[in-house]
């Protein structure tokens, strides 16, 4: 009889944006896993977890953030083996992930890798506040009202999908601009959607930036940045 | 010197999906306003609030859900006057709203009406879990991974926008199907997107329904229903 794995969305950075259900899942778990990058820096998920739990019950899983796919695959496999071992012991496991575990989350990949080790693993998730929602709140931007529509896409999907979305949707949210932020903003400028757009990074943690997207135009975006193109209705 | 108004997203129904920040905002408020429909039924937002607060500090604002626009406007104005009066007394006010206060929320309309009474009113929001996220979690559906894109739209935007979204986006979320649910599912069937789609209503509360969208095809949807069209990857 194997244990159970819960992916807990801990929100974008502010520990208070954790849900009560997420907090309970973390507290009731025998083991809480957190992802760490290969820089050794304490990650955002871990910071939120450590705001509520003692470090003894927290186990770090190493994931490479670099582009080295072989290293990434090796990390996934090793992480999955560690989680699967705990599940085989019948342990209740939680994996803390920033944002929501079903929205661009490492949890999706972890589950896939764990199921290769332990196909019968029981898995569930607890939703978490996404960066899009936090940026809307911090910048005073209403995301949607009435009959409006929203498109959420990563800039890694390419310029053309962003262009089409900007041409059709009242609100467009672009993640993962990263070093390509100038490209994102250039497409928006062409589409006449740069005014009123907001840029955010490191939401809720030290070094937070929330500013008009136009002011972010000259810089390289943070790895986890968010741009919301709205109509400045708020 | 006027008080401050915070829109608190209390999530889709399950009181545990409230964030810790939302809980603090509710507890610290001098007055907590909750919307109620004209049926007198305790609303979802109120139920979550009453899971944590004594009823004495909670004030109900009447909003007509019916199609009578004149009655609706009258209700908004009366609600705004009540909130503005509390703000003029320097009170810290919270307004509890289901889901997220920046996503199809009554809070947006309330703020607009309050500002007509009291233009200098200070306003902020605390994000909340949306029905889309809760349904993804409860149905085991991954909303987004890698370079995928998501479109979120209300069916009240019409059939054609839904058709275009289904033709372009990996994940499409449709709100407010209501009595037009058969229309939503008909468009999806034509687009070959009905398989793997999930339908949800009354998430986290009594009478919850989470089922394959195909099984919901014969019925009239609930007023607050959600359909997620994905690719059945989870």
A residues 13..52 contacting B (CB < 8 A):
14-21, 23-24
Which residue in B17, B52, B131, B144 has the most chain A C-beta atoms within 10 A of its own C-beta, making it the best mutation to test that interface? B144
The answer, for B201 touching chain A at a CB cutoff of 8 Å, is: no
Average pLDDT over residues A147-158: 93
- Residue B213's SS3 state is helix
Inform me whether the pLDDT recorded for A84 exceeds 60: yes
Using a CB-CB cut-off of 8 Å, the residues of chain B touching A105 are 145
pLDDT at B39: 64
The answer, for A123 touching chain B at a CB cutoff of 8 Å, is: yes
Radius of gyration of chain A (CA): 19
pLDDT at B41: 64
A66 pLDDT tier (thresholds 50, 70, 90): low
The pLDDT tens digits of the residues spanning A162-205 come to 999 999 999 999 998 777 888 889 999 999 999 999 999 999 99
Average pLDDT over residues B81-99: 97
Looking at the DSSP assignment, which residues form a beta bridge with residue B211?
Answer: B199
Round the average pLDDT of chain A to a whole number and report it: 91
ipTM of the complex: 0.95
Average pLDDT over residues B65-79: 81
Inform me whether the pLDDT recorded for A135 exceeds 50: yes
Q: Which of B24, B127, B133 sits opposite A102 (nearest CB)?
A: B133
- Measured CA to CA, the distance from residue A211 to residue A198 in angstroms comes to 6
CB contact under 8 A, B124 and A142: no
Average pLDDT over residues A59-84: 86
pLDDT at B232: 46
Q: Which of A86-100, B107-121, B206-220 has the lowest mean pLDDT?
A: B206-220
pLDDT at A231: 77
CB contact under 8 A, B103 and A141: no
- Residue A87's SS3 state is helix
Find, in chain A, the residue whose alpha carbon is nearest to that of B139.
A124
Helices (H), chain A: 20-28, 44-50, 69-88, 106-117, 131-139, 159-168, 181-190
Every domain of chain B and the residues it spans: 4-126, 131-229
pLDDT at A41: 64
| CATH number for region A4-126 | 3.40.1010.10
The answer, for A177 touching chain B at a CB cutoff of 8 Å, is: no
Q: Which of B19, B108, B137 sits opposite A102 (nearest CB)?
A: B137
The answer, for B128 touching chain A at a CB cutoff of 8 Å, is: yes
pTM of the model: 0.95
A210 pLDDT tier (thresholds 50, 70, 90): very high
Q: Does the domain spanning B131-229 belong to CATH 3.60.21.10?
A: no
Using a CB-CB cut-off of 8 Å, the residues of chain B touching A125 are 136-137, 140
Find, in chain B, the residue whose alpha carbon is nearest to that of A168.
B161
B71 pLDDT tier (thresholds 50, 70, 90): confident
pLDDT at B27: 98
Inform me whether the pLDDT recorded for A233 exceeds 60: no
Average pLDDT over residues B46-75: 87
CA neighbor of A224 nearest in space, from A232, A214, A205, B173: A205
The secondary structure of A7-33 as a DSSP string is: EEE-BSS-GGGSBHHHHHHHHH-SEEE
**Alpha carbon of B210: minimum distance to chain A alpha carbons (Å):** 15
Using a CB-CB cut-off of 8 Å, the residues of chain B touching A23 are 20
pLDDT at A232: 46
Which residue, chain included where needed, has tokens 């209390």?
B10
The pLDDT tens digits of the residues spanning B16-45 come to 999 999 999 999 999 999 998 866 667 899
Inform me whether the pLDDT recorded for B54 exceeds 80: yes
Inform me whether the pLDDT recorded for B178 exceeds 80: no
- Measured CA to CA, the distance from residue A27 to residue B172 in angstroms comes to 34
B74 pLDDT tier (thresholds 50, 70, 90): confident
Token pair for B64: 């007509």
pLDDT at A39: 64
Using a CB-CB cut-off of 8 Å, the residues of chain A touching B165 are 149
Which residue would you say has higher pLDDT here, B7 or A223?
A: B7
The secondary structure of B36-95 as a DSSP string is: E-TT-PPPHHHHHHHTTS-GGGEEEEE---SS-HHHHHHHHHHHHHHHHHHHHTT-EEEE
The answer, for A82 touching chain B at a CB cutoff of 8 Å, is: no
**Alpha carbon of A85: minimum distance to chain B alpha carbons (Å):** 22
- Measured CA to CA, the distance from residue B16 to residue A19 in angstroms comes to 7
A228 pLDDT tier (thresholds 50, 70, 90): very high
Q: Which of A35-44, A70-79, B53-62, B220-229 has the lowest mean pLDDT?
A: A35-44
The pLDDT tens digits of the residues spanning B195-230 come to 999 999 999 998 999 999 999 877 776 778 999 999
Which residue would you say has higher pLDDT here, B219 or A63?
A: A63
């Amino acid at each position: 009889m194997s244990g159970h794995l819960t992916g807990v969305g801990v929100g974008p950075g502010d520990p208070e944006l954790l849900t009560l259900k997420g907090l309970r899942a973390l507290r009731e778990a025998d083991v809480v896993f957190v992802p760490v990058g290969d820089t050794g820096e304490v990650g955002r998920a871990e910071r939120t977890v450590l705001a509520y739990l003692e470090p003894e019950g927290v186990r770090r899983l190493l994931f490479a953030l670099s582009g080295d796919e072989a290293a990434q695959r090796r990390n996934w496999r090793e992480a999955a083996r560690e989680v699967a071992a705990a599940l085989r012991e019948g342990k209740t496991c939680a994996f803390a992930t920033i944002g929501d575990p079903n929205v661009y989350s490492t949890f999706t990949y972890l589950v896939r890798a764990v199921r290769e080790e332990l196909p019968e693993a029981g898995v569930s998730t607890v939703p978490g506040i996404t960066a899009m929602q936090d940026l809307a709140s911090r910048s005073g931007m209403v995301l949607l009202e009435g009959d409006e529509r929203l498109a959420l896409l990563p800039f890694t999907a390419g310029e053309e999908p962003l262009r089409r979305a900007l041409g059709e949707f009242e609100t467009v949210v672009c993640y993962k601009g990263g070093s390509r932020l100038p490209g994102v903003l250039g497409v928006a400028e062409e589409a006449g959607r740069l005014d009123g757009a907001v840029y955010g990074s490191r939401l809720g943690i030290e070094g937070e930036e929330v500013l008009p997207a136009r002011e972010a135009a000259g810089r390289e975006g943070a790895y986890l940045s968010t741009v919301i193109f709205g109509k400045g209705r708020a």
